[in-house]
Chain A
Amino acid sequence: MRLSRSLVLLLVLLPLTVQAQETATFNLALADGKLVNAPDTIRVQQGDAVELRWTSDRPMAIELHGYEIKTQVSPQTPGVMSFRATIAGRFQVHAEGSSHGHATILYLEVYPK
């Protein structure tokens, strides 16, 4: 069960990681402070250039811990986090400003080469 799920996950994510040779771009939409239509974990390879493009139906402050990158997002202006994934590990993305307080909305997993 677990194995098959991991395999499916691998197949789904493989194209993402392969194209990541250039810039891995993720379009992430927030509604009511939660991610819409996206898995709660995104995976990249160490050394990849990563771009997280945020849109939201309400103004929020978003922070990627570990990399200490912050951005603001509002219905009018999308937020962008653009960086090179130099550190491997599993990093939390927090959002502030939703009704859920300070919540983890996404995990970024950077896998070692």
Chain B
Amino acid sequence: MLRVAAVIAALLLTAGPAAAHGFGQRFDLPLPLWLWVTGAGATIVVSFVVVALFVRERPGGDLYPRFVLFRRAGRGAWLVWLLRVVVAALFLLTVATGLFGEEDPYHNLTPIMVWVIWWVGVALVCILLGDLWALVNPLDTLFRGFEALTHAHPHYDYPRWLGTWPSVLLFFLFAWAELVWDAKDEPLLLAYATIAYAAFAWIGMILFGREAWLRRGEAFSVAFGVFARFAVLDVRDEDVALRPPGVGLLNERAVSVSFTVFVLLMLSTVTFDGFLETPFWNRLFSGAYNLPVMARILFDLSSEGIDDAQVMKSIGLVAFPLLFVVVYWCGSWAMVRAADLFRRSGPPRAAVSVTDAATGFVLTLVPIAVAYHLAHYLSLLLTAGQLIVPIASDPFGVGWDLFGTAGYRIDLGLVGPKFFWYTATTVIVIGHAAAVYLSHVVALRVFGDRRAALVSQGPMLALMVAYTMLSLWILAQPIVG
């Protein structure tokens, strides 16, 4: 068993034909010092303003304002289906170009589609507008087709103990592929990975039913769903409504522990992506060679043909989320302790456990991650994303020119660094404000007592400021490697 694992690891970690340089290479200038300091200052000020507003504000109800745009009542269903069919066709095309197209990632649809248009682009739509993935998910569409043909019924009830854990595991593997895997830009291997994921999802749907699996086992439905809770469009079965950004994260009841871990995994991997490009990571990496034990292990592995950089990144990818979980649970513990100490004597309430706090507050961290995601990936979308223009005309890289755009060359000057600097800083400060606000609302609900709620937010505020500072710090680092 161990041997098989070792062989698989060796296969995955052995560098393929060395790509000239990473697909989606970044050209971002680090935030200038003054802007970093301004952003950090604004973060602190905004925190206190939000807290001060809360001291005065009467606690309102949990419901947020909704402005109904239109009632659904089956209207527009054909439009949604048209969209579903188009996206399913795009999905099949993306797999086909990977299998049969040109090997060069710059002349093949698969890498740009997966890493930029889908993972960055769809996430962006989910964050700003609403849950696009739930609307068009091709795995869902294709399986619905399969269901219609075979009249298949789920074999088992989804076990409760399994929770969102399948998504946690699958998202971890995805993050590994995105951040560590050397061959992630090779169209053929990327197509295999996509097929493997789709097959796994379909097996899950066959066993436990389509909807059960989409809700807990399809990592991207869960991930994009988390992002979309921030969005302004509130899509329900009966209607589509507008709501203030972020309020969708005020979950009506506490989420499960597995879902909490999933959210923390998402937040930590998004941050880890930026962290890997900092000089600090490079120093950690070379520092590892100063430890005789690590140096020996890395040396032995590389003599087996396993790339040491990937080993180090893999270790980081495990350690980073674990660190997030531990720090967050400590923060939750501190929150509960603070609230207990300062609770006014009154009618006794059921004690709030640390787990209650952790699962109750986790979604309030999402705006900070969403903001960092936007700040980090916007430039990638606007630079590397332009590759879709020539590739759309020639998805297989065989010399077609379907739309007459095959000769388009990427314009790196489309938007300048100043645009990114100001957008990134603004977005991060706004995201922080939203997080602090949401977490105060949740505190009122979880701890009941106004004073206890306010005091409980001391540790949470410290946690959020630290997290926001980490985001800003990474953006102020020069990108290396």
Cβ–Cβ < 8 Å partners of A91 in chain B: 27
Query: Contact: A88 with B21, CB < 8 Å?
Result: no
Cβ–Cβ < 8 Å partners of A53 in chain B: none
Q: How far is the CB of A58 from chain B (nearest CB, A)?
A: 20
A94-B21 Cα distance, complex, nearest whole Å? 9
Partner of A89, one of B18, B20, B21, B417: B417
Q: Mark A75-95, 1 if CB is under 8 A from B, else 0.
A: 000000000001111111010
A90-B33 Cα distance, complex, nearest whole Å? 16
Cβ–Cβ < 8 Å partners of A97 in chain B: none
Residue of A nearest to B37 (CB): A3
Please tell me if A111 contacts chain B, counting CB pairs below 8 Å: yes
Cβ–Cβ < 8 Å partners of A104 in chain B: 480-481
Which has the most chain B C-beta neighbours within 10 Å: A41, A88, A102?
Answer: A88
Partner of A88, one of B20, B25, B26, B413: B413
Cβ–Cβ < 8 Å partners of A65 in chain B: 21, 25
Q: How far is the CB of A79 from chain B (nearest CB, A)?
A: 19
Cβ–Cβ < 8 Å partners of B25 in chain A: 65-66, 92
Interface of B is mostly: loop
Query: Contact: A112 with B416, CB < 8 Å?
Result: yes
Mark out the residues of chain B between 18 and 61 whose CB falls within 8 Å of any chain A CB in the assembled complex.
Answer: 18, 20-21, 25-30, 33
A91-B29 Cα distance, complex, nearest whole Å? 9
Query: Contact: B27 with A3, CB < 8 Å?
Result: no
Cβ–Cβ < 8 Å partners of B479 in chain A: 90
A101-B18 Cα distance, complex, nearest whole Å? 10
Mark out the residues of chain A between 91 and 113 whose CB falls within 8 Å of any chain B CB in the assembled complex.
Answer: 91-92, 94, 101-102, 104, 107, 109-112
Known contacts: A101-B18, A107-B478. The answer to whether A89 contacts B412 by CB under 8 A is: yes
Cβ–Cβ < 8 Å partners of A37 in chain B: none
Cβ–Cβ < 8 Å partners of A109 in chain B: 29, 478
Query: Contact: B21 with A102, CB < 8 Å?
Result: yes
- Interface footprint category on B: 10 to 19
Mark out the residues of chain A between 1 and 34 whose CB falls within 8 Å of any chain B CB in the assembled complex.
Answer: 3, 6
- Interface footprint category on A: 20 to 34
Query: Contact: A102 with B478, CB < 8 Å?
Result: no
Which has the most chain B C-beta neighbours within 10 Å: A89, A91, A94, A104?
Answer: A89
Known contacts: A104-B480, A104-B481. The answer to whether A90 contacts B20 by CB under 8 A is: no
Q: How far is the CB of A92 from chain B (nearest CB, A)?
A: 7
Please tell me if B71 contacts chain A, counting CB pairs below 8 Å: no
Q: How far is the CB of A5 from chain B (nearest CB, A)?
A: 10
Known contacts: A65-B21, A101-B18. The answer to whether A90 contacts B478 by CB under 8 A is: yes
Please tell me if B66 contacts chain A, counting CB pairs below 8 Å: no
Please tell me if B72 contacts chain A, counting CB pairs below 8 Å: no
Partner of B417, one of A88, A92, A94: A88
Cβ–Cβ < 8 Å partners of A102 in chain B: 18, 20-21
Query: Contact: B418 with A112, CB < 8 Å?
Result: yes
A3-B223 Cα distance, complex, nearest whole Å? 38
Query: Contact: A90 with B416, CB < 8 Å?
Result: no
Q: How far is the CB of B393 from chain A (nearest CB, A)?
A: 21
Query: Contact: B29 with A111, CB < 8 Å?
Result: yes
Query: Contact: A66 with B480, CB < 8 Å?
Result: no
Query: Contact: B417 with A112, CB < 8 Å?
Result: yes
Query: Contact: B18 with A90, CB < 8 Å?
Result: no
Q: How far is the CB of B387 from chain A (nearest CB, A)?
A: 14
Residue of A nearest to B481 (CB): A104
Q: Mark A52-67, 1 if CB is under 8 A from B, else 0.
A: 0000000000000110
Query: Contact: A92 with B413, CB < 8 Å?
Result: no
Residue of A nearest to B27 (CB): A89
Query: Contact: A3 with B33, CB < 8 Å?
Result: yes
- Known contacts A66-B412, A90-B478, then 14 further A-B pairs from the complex at CB < 8 Å, ordered by chain A residue: A3-B33, A65-B25, A86-B413, A87-B412, A88-B418, A89-B28, A90-B26, A91-B27, A102-B18, A104-B480, A107-B478, A109-B478, A110-B29, A112-B418
Interface, chain A (partner B; CB < 8 A) = 3, 6, 41, 65-66, 86-92, 94, 101-102, 104, 107, 109-112
